[in-house]
Amino acid sequence: MIPPRLAGLVGPGTDAALLADLFLKADKQLFLVGGSVRDAFMGRTDASPDLDFTTDAHPEEIKEIVDSFGAVYTIGESFGTIAVHRNHTDYEITTFRREIYRDKSRKPEVSFSDNIEEDLGRRDFTVNAMALRLGEDPELIDPYGGLGDLATGTLRTPIGPKISFSDDPLRMLRLFRFMATIKFSPTEAAIDAVINMANRLSIVSAERIRGELDKLLVGANVVEALRLMTETGLADQFLPELSLLKMQVDPGQHHKDVFEHTLAVVAKTSPKPRLRLAALLHDIGKPETRAFEPLVTFHHHEVVGARMARARMRALKYAKQEVRDVGQLVFLHLRPHTFKMGWTDSAVRRYVRDAGELLEDLNELVRCDVTTKNQKRARVIERSIDELEARIVVLRAKEEIEALRPPIDGTQVMAFLHLKPGRQVGEIMKRLLEYRIDHGPFDDNEAYGLIGAWADELELTIADPFFRPTSAKDDDG
Range with the lowest mean pLDDT among 110-124, 246-260, 323-337, 395-409?
A: 246-260
Architecture of domain 4-146 in this structure:
2-Layer Sandwich (3.30)
Query: Per-residue pLDDT for 476 more than 70?
Result: no
Q: Hey, is 141 helix, strand or coil?
A: strand
- 97 phi and psi angles, rounded to 5 deg: -150, 170
Q: How far is CA 401 from CA 133, 329, 353, 386, 440, in A?
A: 59, 19, 7, 18, 9
Please report the pLDDT score of residue 255 as a whole number.
Answer: 46
Q: Hey, is 315 helix, strand or coil?
A: helix
Average pLDDT over residues 78-88: 90
CA angle 12, 14, 16 (to 5 degrees): 105
The pLDDT-based confidence of 30 (bands split at 50, 70, 90) is very high
State the Cα–Cα distance between residues 296 and 285, nearest whole angstrom: 14
Q: How far is CA 394 from CA 338, 388, 389, in A?
A: 21, 10, 9
Q: Hey, is 330 helix, strand or coil?
A: helix
State the Cα–Cα distance between residues 115 and 340, nearest whole angstrom: 68
Please report the pLDDT score of residue 3 as a whole number.
Answer: 64
State the Cα–Cα distance between residues 173 and 155, nearest whole angstrom: 12
Q: Mind listing the pLDDT tens digit for each residue in 215-224?
A: 999 999 999 9
Q: Mind listing the pLDDT tens digit for each residue in 139-192?
A: 999 999 999 999 999 999 999 999 999 989 999 999 999 999 999 999 999 999
How many percent of the chain have pLDDT more than 90? 53
If one compares 459 and 351, the residue with the highest pLDDT of the two is: 351
The pLDDT-based confidence of 58 (bands split at 50, 70, 90) is very high
State the Cα–Cα distance between residues 275 and 286, nearest whole angstrom: 19
Please report the pLDDT score of residue 2 as a whole number.
Answer: 60
- Beta-strand relationship, 185-186 and 154-155: parallel
State the Cα–Cα distance between residues 279 and 271, nearest whole angstrom: 11
What ranges in 206-300 are assigned the alpha helix state H? 206-217, 222-231, 241-244, 258-268, 273-281, 286-289
- Report, in angstroms and rounded to the nearest whole number, the Rg of the chain calculated over CA atoms: 29
Under 8 Å CB-to-CB from 28, ≥6 apart: which residues?
55, 56, 57, 61, 65
Query: Per-residue pLDDT for 472 more than 70?
Result: no
Q: Mind listing the pLDDT tens digit for each residue in 235-246?
A: 999 999 999 998
Query: Per-residue pLDDT for 401 more than 80?
Result: no
Query: Per-residue pLDDT for 254 more than 90?
Result: no
As to burial, measured by CB atoms within 10 angstroms (0-12 exposed, 13-18 middle, 19+ buried), residue 204 is buried
Round the average pLDDT of the chain to a whole number and report it. 88
